[in-house]
């Protein structure tokens, strides 16, 4: 099978498209034909070696945690899935192994994908959606009384966070750049602040939860804009925030540096919300596996709106995709060639 592998840490040029043997599916696993994988910033952080002391995939490594596609084989103990099921997962393999055409996954990490999504949309959900859910529902305990600010509201995590905060009834202020303001508004934010033009806290408003999904600020900068028992949550473990986390264990305002957990029950919960029409993924763009280096560079620039998707199956043209189940072929989401490549 075709994979995008890296043999060492480095910039996006370290990717090579290569062949590996098909994964073997053991008694408790399902074999999945990957129709879509999504890029998380975690992937390029691993690729660059930024996390080498905490996460160490063996080289040659295949990255990519979020996958969706079709079950093509099941192990003898697997009862919940059968061939042909449309599923998705946050892979529990070191490094992910999702930038590939096939993956064998333990069945307890696999969830039936929402029936109202196509494979590209489904691959947007696992890691970013679970991260947003764990912040909004579990850490922030957002409710109808909550005032929430989401910084990085147009990113993979941020767009899910905006929708989830609205789902729990909060008043939501989304912080995004000029080009992505409409997207954040569409997903339900009550107010948008353009971080390129305005001071986030010019109105001196205080929040129950400030979720810094892109880790661009610190607890110390935002502390006075939290209500007396407000929480600041960052996805990035900066030294300043780690120190604030320790200190605020003893104060009413809290700083939390979150680490998302791979909880398939959370993905199941998100599936239900999606099927009820309460939550939807946003695709930034779709690339072929061969264009993985370019797609990684785009993610690394930190101006992605929604999720970047990788299609690891052979697909010459947009026209070869089933038009009704994929984004409209004139959608800007497509980065595949419109004409067949000979």
SS3 of 68, please? strand
Which residues partner with 172 through β-bridges?
148
As given in the structure block, the two tokens for residue 84 are: 């042909």
4 part of the interface to ligand NAP, by CB under 6 A: no
100-159: contacts with ligand NAP (CB under 6 A): 128, 131, 151-152, 154-158
Q: Is position 233 an interface residue for ligand NAP (rule: CB under 6 A)?
A: no
Interaction of residue 270 with ligand NAP, rule CB under 6 A: no
CA 229-234-238 angle, 5° bins: 120
Q: Which is nearer to ligand NAP, 103 or 214 (CB)?
A: 214
Per CB under 6 A, does 232 bind ligand NAP? no
Strand partners, 194: 176
258: contact with ligand NAP by CB under 6 A: yes
Q: How far is the CB of 209 from ligand NAP (least distance, A)?
A: 16
Q: Are 141 and 147 in contact (CB under 8 A)?
A: no
Residue 51 has a CB neighbour count (10 Å cut-off) of 14
Measured between alpha carbons, how far is 306 from 297 in angstroms, rounded to an integer?
A: 15
Can you tell me which of 73, 260, 289, 293 binds ligand NAP, judged by CB under 6 A? 260
CB of 192 to ligand NAP, least distance (A): 10
The helix-helix angle for 126-133 and 156-167 (nearest 10°) equals 40
Regarding 195 and contact with ligand NAP (CB under 6 A), the answer is yes
Q: What is the DSSP string of 158-178?
A: HHHHHHHHHHTT-EEEEEE-G
Residue 40 as a binder of ligand NAP (CB under 6 A): the answer is: yes
Q: How far apart are CA 149 and CA 209, in angstroms?
A: 6
Cβ–Cβ under 8 Å, residues 308 and 301: no
Closer by beta carbon to ligand NAP, 102 or else 232: 232
CB of 150 to ligand NAP, least distance (A): 9
Q: Around 173, how many Cα atoms within 13 Å sit in the side-chain half-sphere?
A: 21
Among 75, 94, 177, 188, binds ligand NAP (CB under 6 A): 177
How many residues sit close enough to ligand NAP to count as binding (CB under 6 A)? 33
Question: Would you say 31 and 71 are in contact if contact means Cβ atoms under 8 Å apart?
Answer: yes
- The span of 30-38, 46-54, 176-184, 319-327 binding ligand NAP (CB under 6 A) equals 176-184
Q: Minimum CB separation from ligand NAP for residue 154, in Å?
A: 4
Helices vs. strands in the chain: H and E counts, helices first: 9, 16
Site for ligand NAP in 272-331 (CB under 6 A): 299, 302-305
Please report whether residue 259 would count as binding ligand NAP according to CB under 6 A: yes
Binding site for ligand NAP (CB under 6 A): 40-42, 45, 128, 131, 151-152, 154-158, 175-177, 179-180, 195, 213-216, 235-236, 258-260, 299, 302-305
């Amino acid at each position: 099978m075709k994979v995008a592998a890296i043999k060492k840490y480095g910039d996006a040029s370290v990717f090579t498209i290569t062949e590996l043997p098909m994964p073997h599916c053991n008694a408790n696993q399902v074999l999945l034909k990957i129709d879509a994988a999504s890029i998380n910033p975690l992937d390029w952080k691993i690729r660059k070696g930024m996390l080498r002391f905490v996460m160490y995939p063996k080289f040659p490594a295949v990255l990519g945690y979020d996958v969706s596609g079709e079950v093509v084989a099941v192990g003898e103990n697997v009862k919940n899935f059968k061939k042909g099921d449309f599923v998705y997962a946050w892979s529990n393999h070191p490094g992910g192994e999702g930038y590939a055409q096939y993956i064998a996954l333990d069945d307890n990490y696999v969830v039936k994908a929402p029936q109202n999504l196509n494979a590209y949309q489904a691959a947007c959900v696992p890691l970013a959606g679970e991260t947003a859910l764990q912040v909004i529902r579990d850490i922030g305990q957002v409710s109808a009384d909550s005032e929430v600010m989401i910084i990085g509201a147009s990113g993979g995590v941020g767009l899910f966070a905006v929708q989830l905060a609205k789902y729990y009834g909060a008043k939501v202020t989304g912080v995004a750049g000029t080009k992505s303001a409409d997207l954040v508004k569409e997903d339900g934010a009550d107010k948008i602040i353009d971080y390129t033009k305005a001071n986030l806290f010019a109105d001196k408003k205080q929040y129950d939860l400030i979720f810094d999904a892109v880790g661009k600020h610190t607890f110390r900068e935002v502390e006075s804009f939290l209500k007396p028992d407000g929480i600041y949550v960052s996805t990035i473990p900066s030294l300043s925030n780690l120190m604030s986390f320790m200190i605020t264990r003893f104060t009413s305002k809290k700083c939390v540096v979150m680490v998302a957990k791979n909880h398939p029950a959370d993905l199941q919960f998100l599936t239900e919300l999606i099927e009820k029409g309460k939550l939807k993924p946003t695709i930034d763009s779709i690339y072929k596996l061969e264009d993985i280096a370019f797609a990684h560079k785009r993610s690394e620039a930190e101006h992605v709106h929604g999720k970047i998707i990788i299609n690891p199956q052979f697909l010459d043209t947009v026209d070869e995709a089933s038009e009704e189940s994929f984004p409209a072929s004139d959608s800007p989401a497509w980065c595949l060639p419109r004409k067949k490549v000979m």
